[in-house]
Every structure is written in C-alpha cells, then in structure tokens.
C-alpha cells in the first residue's frame, strides 16, 4: 500500500498525462494515502472538478469494458485521495496577499466540507499549504532570477519583496492555527528565514516538504515537532559519498516523523529522472529509502502510511463532530 504525501495532480494533467488513466492505475496499484497539493488562490474547486471529471471518465470506461456499453457509471471518490490548499510564494500572490488570503480561507472552507463529506465513517484528512519561502526565486540576488531568460527580471519569476514573502507565510501559519490544520511547508535556500517565521508564529504542526538541507537543519525542525519529507531526488546520487550522506540524513529522521513524496510532476526518481513524474513512480523512492534505513519496502510503506494519517488527520470531537473549521 503506497503513499504519496505531496503531489500536484492538476499540474501532472497539464503536462499531457491522462488524468483518468492515472487515477485508474493508482487505484489498481493499491494506494493508501495521496495528498493533492494546492499552490494558488482559488485553485481548490477547479482541482476538485478536474479530478471528479477524470473519475467519471474512468468509471464510464470501466463500465464499458465490463458490459460493452456505457451504462450509468458510479464514480466513487477514492477514499485514499485527500487535499490541501495553500499559497506558494509567487510574486503576484505576495503583492496581493491580503486578497489572496481571503480567497484561501474560502478555499479552506470548501476543502474541509469535501473532506468531511467524503470521509463517511472514516477519518477525514486535509492540510494547509504548500506555503513557505523560496530564496532561489525570491530576492535581488536569487539564483533563479539571475538565471532567468526573461529580458526584464521584474517580469520573470520572483520578487524583491522578502518581507512580504515572510508575511504571506506567517499569515498562512495563523490560518492553520485557527483551523487546527497541519501545514505543508516549502523552504528552498531559506532555512534560517523559514525557521524564524515558524518561531514567530509558534506553530509547529506540519511537514517540511521536499527537504533539501542537512542534519543540523533537520534537527532544528525535528526539535520543534515537525515531520520531514523526502522526494524522488534521494535516488539520484551516484557517488558513494553522496549516497551515504543521503542515507545518513534519512537515518537521522525518527521513523515516526518520516514521510515520502513525489512532488509530481517534478523530481522524477531514477531511472526516470527528467520525465514527467507521477505518484506511480514513488515505488522507486520507497525502495531507495528502505535500502538506506535497512527496512523492507513493505515495512516502510506501512510506516509512512501511519505517519501520514496521523499527521494529516482532522481532529474530531468524541461524538464525531467536526472541529477544524467549525
């Protein structure tokens, strides 16, 4: 039973992947937990609609293959597919952050309604994010902007408004606190600043996704209670020293705080590096992580599933009433 704690299904679809076939293949591959991640204001309902349409197409295909005709098809929403909504630190969102946050709160309400209505007798799962800081793209000396092909850096990705970027992140941490939601944090080339915002808001329920720092930085997040998630790039190392460095980092993270992800359609694992990534490729990441940890793949899949469901579970009252967002 595989888990993918961070993917972007709409982005995968935009890269030419047939979403209905992908969801069908994921169903056949016995996924136990998948978190589809939001990045833009107002993107939750379009993402949900795109997936619902793909599921309807998949259900119709299943009925047609079974009966030879397209009878009424039931497109049950997969109990393993869950959602987050959040604001990635994009220049346009940072500039219009007050309005973007209003839209995000509406997105969160819709997301929670879906999560509870789709959960039935089972637990509901959701998160806020992807949010955080990206100093590869943002800042006057950011490598991404220096390497951008845009003729005018102001028209390309990134912004110089670093205080606005941090404000947007802290605003989302505050909404997470209000709704009692776990946070999916993006932190690229911004360890000290990310940790500073987290300390400012004193909210420590969530995951540092696509972790790209070292053991010292991992310790700082872990000491505050954060989970750490690794994507497919842990499979890329070829040199023995790099492979051991990655293995040591994986071993340092407590097993009850470890998550794995694809970040699909990005960061496809070896041997598919450079291809459009999908959740179906996460088995390669599990195999590499299991090797590093000295665990069996099946043992690791159960461990990651347990961690994901414990972190992303929405809190409920004893009688089963909704708490988050109530």
Q: Which 3 state secondary structure label does DSSP give 11?
A: helix
The arithmetic mean of pLDDT across residues 257-278, rounded, is 98
Mean pLDDT, rounded, for 51-78:
72
Helix (H) or strand (E) holding 32: strand 31-36
- Going across the sheet that includes 258-260, the strands are 2-7, 31-36, 81-85, 126-134, 183-188, 206-208, 227-230, 258-260
Question: Average pLDDT for residues 227-239, to the nearest whole number?
Answer: 97
Q: What is the DSSP letter of 38?
A: P
Handedness of CA 177, 179, 180, 185 (dihedral sign): negative
Residue the block writes with tokens 């291809």: 275
**Whose CA is closest to 175, among 7, 324, 5?**
324
**pLDDT for residue 144:** 84
- At 186, is the secondary structure helix, strand, or coil? strand
Checking if the pLDDT of 156 tops 70, the result is no
Could you tell me which CATH number the domain at 2-44+79-312 has? 3.20.20.140
Q: CB of 234 within 8 A of CB of 273?
A: no
Determine the pLDDT at residue 73: 47
Q: Indicate the domain borders of the chain.
A: 2-44+79-312
Element (H, E) at 7: strand 2-7
Where does the pLDDT of residue 145 fall: very low under 50, low under 70, confident under 90, or very high at 90 and above? confident
Q: Structure pTM? A: 0.91
């Amino acid at each position: 039973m595989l888990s993918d704690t961070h993917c972007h299904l709409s982005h995968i679809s935009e890269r030419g992947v047939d979403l209905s076939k992908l969801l069908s293949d994921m169903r056949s591959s016995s996924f136990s937990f998948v978190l589809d991640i939001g990045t833009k204001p107002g993107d939750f309902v379009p993402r949900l609609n795109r997936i619902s349409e793909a599921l309807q197409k998949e259900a119709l295909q299943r009925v047609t293959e079974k009966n030879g005709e397209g009878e009424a098809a039931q497109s049950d929403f997969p109990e393993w597919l869950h959602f987050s909504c959040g604001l990635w630190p994009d220049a346009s969102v940072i500039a219009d952050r007050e309005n973007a946050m209003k839209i995000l709160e509406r997105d969160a309400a819709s997301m929670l309604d879906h999560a509870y209505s789709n959960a039935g007798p089972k637990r509901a799962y959701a998160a806020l994010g992807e949010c955080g800081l990206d100093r590869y793209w943002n800042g006057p000396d950011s490598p991404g902007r220096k390497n951008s092909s845009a003729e005018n850096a102001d028209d390309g990705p990134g912004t110089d408004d670093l205080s606005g970027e941090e404000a947007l992140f802290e605003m989302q941490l505050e909404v997470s606190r209000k709704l009692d939601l776990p946070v999916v944090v993006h932190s690229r080339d911004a360890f000290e600043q990310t940790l500073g915002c987290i300390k400012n808001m004193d909210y420590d329920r969530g995951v540092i996704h696509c972790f790209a720092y070292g053991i010292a930085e991992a310790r700082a997040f872990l000491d505050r209670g954060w989970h750490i998630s690794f994507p497919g790039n842990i499979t890329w190392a070829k040199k023995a020293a790099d492979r051991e460095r990655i293995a040591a980092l994986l071993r340092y993270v407590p097993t009850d705080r470890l998550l794995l992800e694809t970040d699909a359609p990005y960061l496809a694992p070896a041997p598919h590096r450079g291809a459009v990534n999908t959740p179906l490729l996460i088995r390669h990441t599990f195999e590499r992580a299991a090797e590093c940890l000295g665990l069996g793949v099946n043992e690791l899949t159960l461990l990651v599933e347990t961690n994901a469901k414990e972190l992303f579970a929405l809190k409920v009252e004893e009688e089963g009433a909704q708490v988050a967002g109530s």
